[in-house]
Amino acid sequence: MSAATLVPTTAPDTEEEADLRATARDIARRCRDTAGEDHSGCWSALDGAGFTQLREADEDGSPLATATMTAIVVEELAGAVCGAPLVGALLAGELARLAGASLDAPATVLLTEDLAGLTVDGTGLAWDAGPPLRHALALSGHDLLVVDLGDPTGTQDLSRSVARPSGGTRRLAAGPSADALGRFGSFARLLLAADLLGTAGRLFADAVEYAKQRIQFGVPIGSFQAVQHLCGRAYAEVEALRSAVITAAWALDAHAEHRETSLVAKSYAARTGVEIVEHAVQVFGGVAITWEFPAHRHLRRALLDAEVFGGAEATADALLALVDQEATDGPE
């Protein structure tokens, strides 16, 4: 049976995945309720649930949780626009595991200045570097380094900080192999696609509920054809994005064509994630452009997520180059 035959559909979560989603959703709900700048309580809840260690190595070297489970947690927390640096910590844990190393303390990753990928010279910008993360993993030549970070600063994404190296470094291990770095890139693209699914999908769900309740001219605005068209298109985009994320996660777990599926997921997410949020903003109308309303936080997160580890055009070009290379090389 071919690998394509085994690709999953958007079927419901397994019982274990449903329990994991319920726990993550509860933490996300509490985060939404507090809606403050301090997310230390969210981090403590995530750490207590073991979510910050999902990709650390088990006894046999495999990750403690599957890529599918990890994507579920990221999606749920993104729906609350949670500011705890979960994705950065998961990426650092994955990079350390692939290098056969372990971390003494949670860290994030050092990226290039445009946030398009891992740095290769030990310099750059640490992304998702909010408290309590004070270190970042960085590639430099053939080494994997732990880099001390300076004070975090804000970005257009109000839920995430960046930080620059403060000067202190130490060698952690030899850098991962080329194949391992390829898997890391696929995992990183998956997490960003899942984050976009979460932040866009949650705001869209809220917009649908708003359309049922907001009354204009004596009827709910959801009865207007224009609003129905907006919601219908956004729904189709959310479900297509969900399918792309599920497939990319499955490919990593099944050791299948993870590069192709992750590039498809990230390229599609980078474009449609922003579009879904924009559709939701249109449904909400004028209230959505006020500072007090959360829509702008979702939009800011989606706009920056779209560029991290490659924007829509860059990932689409990488996918086309990969397809051309495979066509030239022929079947193995």
Confirm if 149 and 165 have CB atoms less than 8 A apart. yes
With respect to CATH, is domain 180-329 assigned 1.20.140.10?
yes
pLDDT, position 215 = 85
User: How far apart are alpha carbons 189 and 311 in whole angstroms?
Assistant: 10
Of residues 40, 55, 175, 56, the one with CA closest to residue 120: 175
pLDDT the model gives residue 327: 78
Per domain, the residue ranges of the chain are 3-172, 180-329
Residue 234 to residues 105, 211, 224, 277, 294, Cα–Cα distance (Å): 40, 13, 16, 9, 18
pTM of the model: 0.93
pLDDT at position 192, please? 98
Q: Which residues of the chain have pLDDT under 70?
A: 1-12, 35-36, 330-332
Residue 295: C-alpha distances to residues 36, 114, 159, 164, 207 (Å): 15, 25, 13, 29, 10
pLDDT at 5: 40
> Do 40 and 131 meet the contact criterion of CB atoms below 8 Å apart?
yes
Query: Residue 324: what pLDDT?
Result: 87
- The confidence score (pLDDT) of residue 251 equals 96
Q: pLDDT tens across 36-62, in order?
A: 678 899 999 999 999 999 999 898 889
